[in-house]
Amino acid sequence: MKAKWSELTPEMVNMIHAFLKIRAGMLTQARLFFSERGITEVDCPILSSKASVDAHIDLIYSESSQVYLHSSPEYGMKKLLAQGSGDIYQLSHVFRKGEMGKKHRPEFMMAEWYRCGFTYDQMIEETCSFIQLFVGMLPIQSLSYKEAFKKYANVDITTKSDEELNEILGLHVEPQLGNECLTVITNYPASQCALAKTAHVDGERVAKRFEVYCRGLELANGYDELTDSAEQKRRFHEANKQRKQLGKQALPIDDEFLSILDSVPDCCGVAVGFDRLMMLRHNTEDIADVIFYPV
Amino acid sequence: MAQASTNELRPGYKVEVDGQPYFVTGNEFVKPGKGQAFNRIRLKHLMTGRVIEKTFKSGEKLELADVLETDMRLLYTDQHGAVFMDDNTYEQVTIPFDNIGDNKRWLKEDLVYDVIFYNGQPVTVDPPTFIEVKVTETSPGVRGDTASGRVMKPAIVETGAEVQVPIFVNEGEVVRIDTRNGEYDSRVS
Structural contact between residues A16 and A292, judged by C-beta atoms closer than 8 angstroms: yes
pLDDT reported for residue B111: 96
Task: Give me the amino acid identity at B76.
Answer: Y
What CATH fold (topology level) applies to the domain B130-187? OB fold (Dihydrolipoamide Acetyltransferase, E2P) (2.40.50)
| Dist. CA A234–CA A246, nearest whole Å | 19
Q: What is the mean pLDDT of residues A249-277?
A: 97
Residue A107 has pLDDT above 60, yes or no: yes
CATH number of the domain at A5-289, please?
A: 3.30.930.10
- More confidently predicted of B10 and B189: B10
pLDDT digits (tens, 9 = 90+) for B89-127: 999 999 999 889 889 999 999 999 999 999 999 988 999
Nearest of A127, A88, A78, A83 to residue A226 by alpha carbon: A78
pLDDT digits (tens, 9 = 90+) for A38-94: 999 999 999 999 989 999 999 999 999 999 999 999 999 999 999 999 999 999 999
The boundaries of every CATH 2.40.50.140 domain in chain B are 67-126, 130-187
Main-chain dihedrals φ then ψ at residue A228, nearest 5 degrees: -115, 105
Q: Is B53 on the interface with A (CB under 8 A)?
A: no
CATH number of the domain at B3-64, please?
A: 2.30.30.30
The domains of chain A are located at 5-289
Structural contact between residues A271 and A221, judged by C-beta atoms closer than 8 angstroms: yes
Q: Is B5 on the interface with A (CB under 8 A)?
A: no
Residue B147 has pLDDT above 60, yes or no: no
**Which of A98, A171, A221 minimises the CB distance to B58?**
A98
Q: Contacts of residue B53 in chain A, CB cutoff 8 Å? A: none
Query: How many Cα atoms sit within 13 Å of B93 on the Cβ side?
Result: 22
Structural contact between residues B189 and B171, judged by C-beta atoms closer than 8 angstroms: no
pLDDT reported for residue A292: 73
Residue B186 has pLDDT above 60, yes or no: yes
What's the mean per-residue pLDDT of chain B? 91
Q: Is A248 on the interface with B (CB under 8 A)?
A: no
Structural contact between residues B13 and B62, judged by C-beta atoms closer than 8 angstroms: no
pLDDT reported for residue B142: 63
| Dist. CA A16–CA A133, nearest whole Å | 22
Question: How confident is residue B80, by pLDDT bands cut at 50, 70 and 90?
Answer: confident
| Dist. CA B40–CA B58, nearest whole Å | 9
Lowest model confidence (mean pLDDT) among A50-59, A182-191, B145-154: B145-154
Question: How confident is residue A293, by pLDDT bands cut at 50, 70 and 90?
Answer: confident
Q: Contacts of residue B55 in chain A, CB cutoff 8 Å? A: 167, 171
Q: Is B170 on the interface with A (CB under 8 A)?
A: no
CATH architecture observed for domain B67-126: Beta Barrel (2.40)
DSSP E strands: which ranges in chain B? 3-5, 14-17, 20-30, 38-45, 51-57, 61-64, 67-78, 81-85, 92-95, 112-118, 121-126, 130-138, 152-157, 162-166, 174-178, 183-187
- The whole-angstrom distance between B35's CA and the closest CA on chain A is 6
Residue A120 has pLDDT above 80, yes or no: yes
pLDDT reported for residue B148: 57
Q: What is the mean pLDDT of residues B174-186?
A: 94
Q: What is the mean pLDDT of residues A86-109?
A: 95
Residue B146 has pLDDT above 60, yes or no: no
Span between the terminal Cα atoms of chain A, in Å: 7
Q: Is A17 on the interface with B (CB under 8 A)?
A: no
Chain centroid offset of residue B184 CA: 18
pLDDT digits (tens, 9 = 90+) for B152-172: 899 999 999 999 999 899 999
DSSP conformation letters of B62-93: EEEP-EEEEEEEEEEEETTEEEEE-TTT--EE
Residue B145 has pLDDT above 60, yes or no: no
Q: What is the mean pLDDT of residues A241-249?
A: 93
Q: Is A192 on the interface with B (CB under 8 A)?
A: yes
- The whole-angstrom distance between A56's CA and the closest CA on chain B is 5
pLDDT reported for residue B95: 93
pLDDT reported for residue A135: 96
The pTM score is 0.84
Q: Is B40 on the interface with A (CB under 8 A)?
A: yes
The boundaries of every CATH 2.30.30.30 domain in chain B are 3-64
Yes or no, beta carbons of B35 and A170 under 8 Å apart:
yes
pLDDT reported for residue B49: 87
pLDDT reported for residue B93: 93
Question: How confident is residue A294, by pLDDT bands cut at 50, 70 and 90?
Answer: low
Residue of A nearest to B32 (CA): A170
